[in-house]
Amino acid sequence: MKTYECFDGAISFESPVDLVNGSLFRQVPDTQELYLERNGEGSVIVEVLELVHEAKTLEEAGEYHFKSLAHDNETEEYEIQNITVISDSSCVVKGLQTIEKAGVIENIPINLNVLRIAGKYDLVTQFNKLAHTPIHVNDYSLFYLLECTTGRLEDILLDSSLLKQAGSSGSGADTVAGSEPATAPPAAPHTPPPAIADFTTLLNTHLSPFTVLSAEIGGEIHSQSQDLESLLQKTLSIVLTPASRSKPPTNLSTFQNSLSPIITHVNKIVQLSDSAPKALQLPLKAVAEGVPAFGWFTIAPKPAPYIQDFKDAAQFYANRVIKEFKGGDERMVRWVKLFMVLLEELRVYVHKHHTTGLSWNEKDGVAYEEYVSGEGGDKSSDATPTNNSTPPPAPAPPAPAPPAPPAPTSTSTHPQSPQQGPEAVFAQLNKGSDITKGLRKVDTEQMTHKNPSLRDAGSTESTPKKQQPPIAAKPKSLTRTTSSHPPKTQLDGQKWFIENHTNTPHILIDDTKLSHTVNIFNCKNTVVEVKGKVNALNMVGCHRTSVLLDNLVSSLSITTSPNFTVQILGVAPTVTVDATDVGQIYLSKGCIEADTEIITAKTSSVNVSLPDNQEDGEFVEKPIPEQLKTVVRDGRLVSSVVEHSG
């Protein structure tokens, strides 16, 4: 099976028969690719056409292009055998067309694929006399390359001959032979930005295996993966691609409205997990818990930790899937592991390209509203072209900027000073006695303390309220700012100090002694490994920090450090956790034999994982009790853990 590329590799198809590039024998328009069977009459034609707006559904679009192809082949005898929708933007039409050549009438099997792109173009692929040839679109690179291709096509379509061709709905191999040669000069190839290229690589490398295995498993698993695949396709087409070409939107509601298709897929994924059969609830729940991470582009300034939060939530169910299906359907184990890898690779990608939020093209991009309006089908350039050979008129110049908004009016009778801050206060004080000249004289009838009727009726009901001036923002000089301290890892006497590390994947402390104490302060998303045996280890004010240690003489103390993870490979006599929510403690067999004590106070969602006696490397998770019952007995308070049964 040989692979053939079209449009510089944006699209590829596999054929069991030997094909040759048709452009070697005849002139082929730039909007079309042609391959001919070397030792037969089959052909493959890939053509980019303008969107058929009359076709509202994929089935209607497939039927339209199939009938239009029959019209171009000058036949009224055709049969559409079936139309299969393979995604929310693509369908395949299978049928026959009766064509007369050299006095011979022949029924030609045709497979026609229609892919709708960006609401602006139809990519139509014809397999003539190659009914069993599968088409494989290069997954997600297509969506960006076709976006780039549209820019090239818009330049090409300005030529009248190509405009006429693009206006037609399709053409067979015979039509290509009679087409006019293209006169537009070839455009330089478009290179996707690194953020786009890496995202397509991420999806091709990590999403494709997940969707392939999902299709193999089938059922609700396949349905959920299709929604996830569509969600990521739309992330590329309506979020990342516009962001790479435009500036941030001035009106966030415009951007938020464009996200409705993504939100729809997220809701479908979650709803499917709620209504799934009991046997599939765990794997579907793992995806449902992690899918909000794919909305990272709405988060600022730290979208990568946001992804990590939902990855951790999904990991809980993923571990249960691995445990339940181990020794059974191993496909489910591989499936959930592929999903967790996808989440982790997404986090790495976002941390690299969108560290503080979705990156926009601040320097060279157009206005977001202008870019979005250019993608719609309302412009004259998007209308279906006619067969007139006259070139279309040049696009109209951009509309002039709207006039400046009128100055805001205020119901207050006091003129507002242009000065703000402390300077404005001193300017008012320097007026001296002149400061009272701006006051309005109040008549006796308007004085409440001299007019009892006003007190009885209430002046607030008869006198309209005046608009209050807006409260000025606090000057930056008076705003408290938190200073960021540089990270530090050093030994001071008998104490190790590990401070202010953020997103540090590995800190190794191996030069240790029995008298050393390790102190970890104010670290975020950091992993610390302590080799050897030390006296004690203290972790204070950290977030999402993990510690791997060998042995302790006295105790391990964790204070105000949410989302922590600690693993003890050797022995630690005591572990104390104070004022901390969410944590995981992994104990070794040595800790169990040494009767390690765990003391908690003001904590929640802290779990202890114990080594499984039956399987090496496996752990059994036990939650630390959070609810206590206290009763008075013989004048004393007696507390016990509340146990729920049933």
**CATH value at residue 612:** 2.160.20.70
200 lies in the same domain as 341: yes
pLDDT of residue 440 exceeding 70 = no
Q: For residue 213, which amino acid is it?
A: L
**Region for 298 from its dihedrals, namely left if φ exceeds 0, alpha if ψ lies in -120 to 50, beta otherwise:** alpha
DSSP string, 574-607: EEEEEEEEEEEEEPPHHHHHTT-EEEEEEEEEEE
Helix/strand/coil for 54: coil
Give the pLDDT confidence score for residue 442 in this predicted structure: 63
- Structure token pair of residue 289: 């818990």
In a domain, 252, yes or no: yes
10 lies in the same domain as 131: yes
The contacts of residue 580 (CB under 8 Å, 6+ apart) are: 558, 559, 560, 561, 562, 564, 602, 603, 606
- Structure token pair of residue 227: 């929604």
Confidence band for 92, pLDDT divided at 50, 70 and 90: confident
Q: What is the CATH number of the domain that holds 242?
A: 1.25.40.330
Query: What is the rounded distance in angstroms from the CA atom of residue 201 to the CA atom of residue 214?
Result: 20
In a domain, 429, yes or no: no
DSSP string, 512-536: --TT-EEEEES-EEEEEEEEEEESE
Residue 68 phi/psi, 5° resolution?
-65, -35
Residue that finishes a domain, picked among 304, 337, 353: 353
Of 582, 512, 585, 492, which Cα lies nearest the Cα of 552?
A: 512
Query: What is the rounded distance in angstroms from the CA atom of residue 496 to the CA atom of residue 574?
Result: 20
145 lies in the same domain as 89: yes
Confidence band for 99, pLDDT divided at 50, 70 and 90: confident
In a domain, 38, yes or no: yes
Place of tokens 């328009």: 29
Mind listing the pLDDT tens digit for each residue in 111-158?
Answer: 888 888 767 788 888 877 654 444 444 444 444 444 444 444 444 444
Query: What is the rounded distance in angstroms from the CA atom of residue 413 to the CA atom of residue 438?
Result: 9
Q: Residue 307 in contact with residue 343, Cβ under 8 Å? A: yes
Place of tokens 């001299």: 450
pLDDT of residue 18 exceeding 90 = no
- Structure token pair of residue 146: 């076709």
From first CA to last CA, the distance across the chain in angstroms is: 59
Of 508, 225, 516, 202, which Cα lies nearest the Cα of 352?
A: 202
In a domain, 216, yes or no: yes
In a domain, 189, yes or no: no
613 lies in the same domain as 514: yes
In a domain, 452, yes or no: no
109 lies in the same domain as 199: no
21 lies in the same domain as 137: yes
Query: What is the rounded distance in angstroms from the CA atom of residue 556 to the CA atom of residue 566?
Result: 9
Residue 440 phi/psi, 5° resolution?
-95, 135
- Strands (DSSP E) along 285-424, which ranges? none
- Structure token pair of residue 584: 């995981």
Residue that finishes a domain, picked among 131, 150, 177: 177
Give the pLDDT confidence score for residue 10 in this predicted structure: 67
The angle subtended at Cα 116 by Cα 111 and Cα 119, nearest 5°, is 160
510 lies in the same domain as 635: yes
Q: Residue 576 in contact with residue 555, Cβ under 8 Å? A: yes
134 lies in the same domain as 206: no
Torsion (CA) 156, 44, 112, 118 in degrees, nearest 10: -30
Of 182, 174, 181, 177, which Cα lies nearest the Cα of 71?
A: 174
Torsion (CA) 562, 566, 571, 575 in degrees, nearest 10: 10
Mind listing the pLDDT tens digit for each residue in 463-518?
Answer: 454 555 555 454 443 344 444 688 999 999 999 999 999 999 899 999 999 999 99
pLDDT of residue 224 exceeding 70 = yes
Q: How many CB atoms lie within 10 A of CB 443?
A: 8
Give the pLDDT confidence score for residue 450 in this predicted structure: 59
**Region for 170 from its dihedrals, namely left if φ exceeds 0, alpha if ψ lies in -120 to 50, beta otherwise:** left
Give the pLDDT confidence score for residue 525 in this predicted structure: 93
Query: What is the rounded distance in angstroms from the CA atom of residue 539 to the CA atom of residue 559?
Result: 6
Give the pLDDT confidence score for residue 623 in this predicted structure: 92
Long-range Cβ contact pairs of 323-327 (< 8 A, separation 24 or more): 324/282
Mind listing the pLDDT tens digit for each residue in 155-172?
Answer: 444 443 344 444 444 444
Q: For residue 157, which amino acid is it?
A: L
Query: What is the rounded distance in angstroms from the CA atom of residue 288 to the CA atom of residue 267?
Result: 9
In a domain, 413, yes or no: no
Report which of residues 89 and 607 the model is more confident about.
607
pLDDT of residue 184 exceeding 60 = no
198 lies in the same domain as 154: no
In a domain, 401, yes or no: no
Domain count of the fold of the chain: 3
Listed in sequence order, the DSSP H helices in 48-108 are 58-72
Give the pLDDT confidence score for residue 422 in this predicted structure: 45
Residue 118 phi/psi, 5° resolution?
55, 25
Query: Which residue range forms the structural domain that includes residue 625?
Result: 488-641
Query: What is the rounded distance in angstroms from the CA atom of residue 36 to the CA atom of residue 424?
Result: 80
The contacts of residue 600 (CB under 8 Å, 6+ apart) are: 576, 577, 578, 606, 624
Query: What is the rounded distance in angstroms from the CA atom of residue 254 to the CA atom of residue 248?
Result: 11
Partners of 601 in the β-ladder? 578
578 lies in the same domain as 628: yes
Give the pLDDT confidence score for residue 458 in this predicted structure: 52
Mean pLDDT, rounded, for 281-308: 91
Q: What is the CATH number of the domain that holds 168?
A: 3.40.1000.10
Confidence band for 276, pLDDT divided at 50, 70 and 90: confident
Mind listing the pLDDT tens digit for each residue in 545-554?
Answer: 999 999 999 9
33 lies in the same domain as 157: yes
Mean pLDDT, rounded, for 207-229: 90
239 lies in the same domain as 312: yes
pLDDT of residue 229 exceeding 70 = yes
